[in-house]
Amino acid sequence: MAGSMRVRIVTGTLAMGIAATLTGCFGNPVDALVDRAAQDGAEQVAEDLIEGMSDGEASVDFGSLPDGFPSEITLVSDNIIQSMTIDEGMVVIVTDPRGMDELVAQVESDFSGWEQEATADMGEMLNVTYRKDESLSVNVSIIAPSGEEEATVGYTVIPAQ
């Protein structure tokens, strides 16, 4: 079941990326009402996709933390791009202008009291899973492309079941 849950959360994260793409398609600065309707539509599309993949309820937001986000999790940046809540947990995606080394050092510091369970280093992408006793598990994914693009840091939060 845990493997299936992780696959659904990863799939949900991809759906959030689709929603971000959709909101980028409706950037008419002249008409704020159209912008808001487009964003609301993209959020609904993302929620529908995620609910279909997870067989449960989903909530997608742009620019804010989900309700009930654990206070013991420190984000590397306040620049929240998207967040999502599904039955199994939460996902929060932020951007940050720093490079991979600085972000890794920040994440290691933020989770210094947690047990590190797994690490996968793929060069421009690093995934680390942390566990706080038996109450909470967090997978942190850092994508820091070389060049001038901002890094993206995703937090997948899975409370104990």
Give the residue-averaged pLDDT of 91-109.
94
**pLDDT at residue 72 in the model:** 92
pTM of the model as a whole: 0.67
Give the residue-averaged pLDDT of 138-157.
88
Q: What is the DSSP track for the chain? A: -HHHHHHHHHHHHHHHHHHHHHHHTT--TT-HHHHHHHHHHHHHHHHHHHHHHHTS-EEEEESSPPTT--TTPPPS-S-EEEEEEETTEEEEEEEESS-HHHHHHHHHHHTTTSEEEEEEE-SSEEEEEEEETTTEEEEEEEE--SSSPPEEEEEEEEE--
Q: Which residue has the higher pLDDT, 159 or 106?
A: 106
Give the residue-averaged pLDDT of 85-98.
88
What is the rounded CA–CA span in Å between residue 125 and residue 52? 28
Whether the pLDDT of residue 38 is over 90: the answer is no
60: nearest Cα among 79, 82, 77: 82
Distance of CA 102 to the CA centre of its chain: 19
Whether the pLDDT of residue 91 is over 70: the answer is yes
Contact 132, 72 (CB under 8 A): yes
Q: Which amino acid is residue 126, in one-letter code?
A: L
Give the residue-averaged pLDDT of 17-44.
40
Range of weakest confidence among 11-20, 26-35, 132-141: 26-35
42: nearest Cα among 58, 25, 30: 25
**pLDDT at residue 158 in the model:** 86
